[in-house]
């Protein structure tokens, strides 16, 4: 069982001597093997929420737990896929994926098996000895995802992982992620500002308000997806054409638009 729970979590920052409240009393449970996406206007604290689950930042009030334990530091049980990939430029594709496995102390045969498996899974065959900057953005992000998957983490934390990609590559990556998520479900917290992406990928979508970020509403996408059998379509555009998809997307859009309108005041 690996759940992520936020209990009354607040986080404030100091800037120029003033305190800013970034996240305001967020309570949320990401259930075991559930895919939850957080959407919200930029600066709403959604990335901060992910970083608190990762142990890269800490709440100023409340508590974040993963698998029942309070998060006190980053660790390979909570693999992070960063928006800017954060690959090690001096390591090859294989070495990047292998690095965390070495730290875990796995033996060499086991590590090689895992690296090869993830390279195949992410369509990176033939690029094992390439350095990250020799790859396109989409391929770099696949390496970052392979590196996270290779850790076999209880929890996967993804911070706008497709934000830096061009539209075509993003669609391919989204389809691949859906396949992987259905094949081998994990507890995922996915941060994005792309509404389509959230509805397409997630079991539940959390909508946050603009700063200070609070949870505005939570939509159960999985209930609709199962009822309307979205998974029979393998292409994202076919899913996006479904009336039930459009309906959910529009609802989230309207909800977010109220937040943007709020920004103008």
Report the interface residues with other proteins, using CB under 8 A.
54, 56, 73-76, 78-80, 82, 84-91, 99-100, 102-104, 131, 133-134, 147, 151
- State the DSSP string of the chain: ---EEEEEEEEEEEETTEEEEEEEEEEEEE-TT-EEEEE-STTSSHHHHHHHHHTSS--SEEEEEETTEE--S--TTEEEE-TT----TTS-HHHHHHHHHHHHT--HHHHHHHHHHHHHHTT-TT-TT--GGGS-HHHHHHHHHHHHHHT--SEEEEESTTTTS-HHHHHHHHHHHHHHHHHS--EEEEE-S-HHHHHHH-SEEEEEPSSSB-EEEEEEHHHHHHHHTGGG--SHHHHHHSHHHHHHHHHHHHHHHHHHHHHT-
Q: Write down the least CB distance from residue 110 to other proteins, Å.
A: 16
Angle between helices 108-121 and 93-104 (to 10 degrees): 140
Retrieve residue 123's tokens.
Answer: 């369509």
The answer to whether 111 and 98 are in contact (CB under 8 A) is yes
Q: Write down the least CB distance from residue 107 to other proteins, Å.
A: 16
Using the minimum distance from each CB to other proteins, give the nearer residue, 56 or 202.
Answer: 56
Using the minimum distance from each CB to other proteins, give the nearer residue, 20 or 131.
Answer: 131
Q: Write down the least CB distance from residue 151 to other proteins, Å.
A: 7
Q: Write down the least CB distance from residue 108 to other proteins, Å.
A: 15
Using the minimum distance from each CB to other proteins, give the nearer residue, 106 or 224.
Answer: 106
Q: Write down the least CB distance from residue 234 to other proteins, Å.
A: 32
Using the minimum distance from each CB to other proteins, give the nearer residue, 147 or 211.
Answer: 147
Using the minimum distance from each CB to other proteins, give the nearer residue, 132 or 212.
Answer: 132
Q: Write down the least CB distance from residue 46 to other proteins, Å.
A: 17
Q: Write down the least CB distance from residue 25 to other proteins, Å.
A: 26
4 CA to centre of own chain? 13
Q: Write down the least CB distance from residue 164 to other proteins, Å.
A: 12
Using the minimum distance from each CB to other proteins, give the nearer residue, 147 or 170.
Answer: 147
Using the minimum distance from each CB to other proteins, give the nearer residue, 25 or 65.
Answer: 65
207 CA to centre of own chain? 15
Retrieve residue 207's tokens.
Answer: 């909508």
Retrieve residue 140's tokens.
Answer: 């770099």
Using the minimum distance from each CB to other proteins, give the nearer residue, 59 or 132.
Answer: 132
Strand partners, 156: 79, 188
């Amino acid at each position: 069982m690996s759940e992520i729970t936020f209990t009354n979590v607040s986080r404030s920052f100091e800037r120029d001597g003033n305190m800013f409240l970034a996240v305001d009393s967020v309570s949320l449970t990401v259930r075991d093997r559930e895919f939850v996406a957080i959407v919200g206007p930029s600066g709403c604290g959604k990335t901060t929420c992910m970083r608190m689950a990762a142990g890269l930042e800490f709440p100023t009030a409340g508590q974040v737990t993963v698998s029942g334990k309070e998060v006190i530091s980053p660790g390979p049980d909570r693999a992070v896929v960063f928006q800017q990939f954060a690959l090690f430029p001096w390591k090859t594709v294989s070495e990047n994926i292998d690095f965390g496995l070495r730290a875990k102390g796995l033996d060499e045969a086991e590590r090689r098996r895992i690296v090869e498996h993830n390279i195949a899974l992410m369509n990176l065959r033939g690029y094992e000895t390439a350095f990250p900057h020799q790859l396109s953005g989409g391929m770099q992000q696949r390496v970052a995802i392979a590196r996270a998957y290779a850790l076999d983490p209880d929890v996967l934390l993804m911070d706008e992982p497709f934000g830096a990609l061009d539209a075509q590559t993003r669609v391919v990556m989204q389809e691949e992620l859906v396949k992987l998520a259905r094949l081998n479900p994990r507890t995922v917290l996915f941060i994005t500002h792309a509404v389509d992406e959230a509805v397409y990928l997630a079991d539940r979508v959390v909508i946050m308000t603009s700063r200070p970020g609070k949870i505005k509403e939570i939509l159960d996408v999985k209930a609709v997806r199962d009822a309307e059998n979205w998974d029979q379509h393998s292409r994202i555009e076919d899913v996006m054409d479904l009336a039930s998809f459009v309906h959910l997307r529009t609802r989230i859009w309207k909800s977010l638009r109220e937040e943007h309108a709020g920004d103008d005041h």
